[in-house]
Amino acid sequence: MVATEGDRQGRPDRFGSRWLARATVTALAAALLAMPARPAAGAPAATGLLADDVSFKSGDLVLHGTIWAPDGPSRPRPGIALVHGSGPGPRTAYELEAQAFARAGIVTLAYDKRTVGYSMLDRDYGLLARDAVAAVRLLRSHPGVDPNLVGLWGESEGTWVVPLAAAGSPDVAFVILVGASGVTPSRQQAWFLGNWLRRSGVSGSMVTSMSINGMRLAVSAGVFPEADFDAVASLRRLRQPVLALWSGRDYSHPPAEASRILQEAFDSGGNGRYTIRFLPDADPGLHRTTDGYDRLDGLAPGSVDLVSTWVAAVAAGAPPGPSVETAPQQDRESSALTPSRWYESATTQLLVIVITLAAFAGALLAGIVRRVRRQSRAVTWPARLLSPPTSCGSSSWGRPARSLPAGRSPGWRSRRWRPSP
């Protein structure tokens, strides 16, 4: 279910709790930067391909992209629109895939991801799904594309968006999912962050505190957009042929768990036209890798051939029936994030911090005042002892001075009682 604007704004911001949770999300996002970034360029020279820069509307927003097609006799070909994973999404991030699919005979659209209504703290999968459907409509009208054979390809976050778009649009002919999670975004992020922390040498309760409790804090404060998005509801509604692909070394999306969830969703929804495959030498985005974590130049061996062969079967009217490859071993299952208790909420955490800081500041101030007072007493009494007698008005001891008899000088008593020589 896609969260509405009211749902996202329904939690009150008390005592700056959103500030604390945003700081937590920022820290978690910094950890996510360790994930290999998609290259902004690096695709081979586009020889034998045609590139057509295009613009199209999605609601009131104009999006821009590039359509890649084989350079040759124009004939109706299958088409596919690429839907981004999380984060900023320039079209160049998927230029490698777009050119590879085009060389395999699939007209491919890579478009710039929207920046209006999408950020780390604000996103709506419904808007992204609308963009994807608009991209499909554009491809259906493009010369050289078979309007009945235009599908959607989505990676990571795109695997939540694509089923939502395809389930609501008969224009989508097929679906390809790369690194689907099957679980909610917050649960997937906690699983990924736990893997990354363990690989970085963190262990014990620190892993749970950062990956599980950190995500629960962000969710409770309402600053993790689409945290509880239900992917299964859209998967059950799919009627198109589906190709679901994972890396055999996927540390970002739980491959064995996710593939099981997708299979159960398709079966319960009555969709028997699905294929599930795993590529052993691929990173989560199906690029070449040595250990699953690094990213080398080029796409994983066999990935393009697998996609093009499957799309050709769909185009021929013979999409593969249920075909499921054995999933790789998954070290641990993802964990459902339980709602935060009242004392674990962002508001309570912030209050504890404020009270602790106030108590510390009060104790420090009280200590300074006591020290100043002690120093004041230590200086005052010796100063009084050493100060010379005053001539009148007061004595050096702070008592009023005696008045002198008339006609007497201040030293008259000492002269009167001084012994004679």
Which percentage of the chain shows pLDDT scores above 90? 57
Q: Are 259 and 227 in contact (CB under 8 A)?
A: no
pTM for the whole structure: 0.75
What pLDDT is stored for residue 219 in this prediction? Answer: 84
What pLDDT is stored for residue 395 in this prediction? Answer: 47
Length of the chain: 421
Is the pLDDT higher at 88 or at 303?
303
pLDDT in tens, 371-403: 887 777 665 555 555 556 555 445 444 455 555
pLDDT in tens, 187-221: 999 999 999 999 999 988 888 888 888 888 888 87
Q: Are 384 and 390 in contact (CB under 8 A)?
A: no
Cβ-Cβ contacts under 8 Å for 140 (sequence gap 6 or more): 79, 147, 150, 171
What pLDDT is stored for residue 341 in this prediction? Answer: 60
Q: Which numeric CATH code is attached to 34-184+229-340?
A: 3.40.50.1820
| Sole residue written with tokens 């404020």 | 354
What pLDDT is stored for residue 402 in this prediction? Answer: 56
pLDDT at 302 over 90: yes
pLDDT at 414 over 90: no
Domain boundaries, the chain: 34-184+229-340
What pLDDT is stored for residue 340 in this prediction? Answer: 62
Is the pLDDT higher at 36 or at 375?
375
pLDDT at 267 over 60: yes
| Sole residue written with tokens 């699919």 | 101
Query: In whole angstroms, what is the distance from residue 181 CA to residue 231 CA?
Result: 8
Return the half-sphere exposure (C-beta side, CA atoms, 13 A cut-off) of residue 112: 14
C-alpha pair distances (Å), 390 with each of 334, 395, 411: 86, 6, 13
Burial of 41 (0-12, 13-18, 19+ CB in 10 A): exposed
- The average confidence (pLDDT) of the chain is 83
What pLDDT is stored for residue 404 in this prediction? Answer: 55
List, as one string, the DSSP characters of 286-322: SBB-SSSSS--SSBPTTHHHHHHHHHHHHHTT----S
pLDDT in tens, 122-156: 889 999 999 999 999 999 999 999 999 999 999 99
Q: pLDDT band for position 408 (50/70/90)? A: low
Supply φ then ψ for residue 267, to 5 degrees. -65, -45
Query: In whole angstroms, what is the distance from residue 34 CA to residue 293 CA?
Result: 9
Q: Are 263 and 336 in contact (CB under 8 A)?
A: no
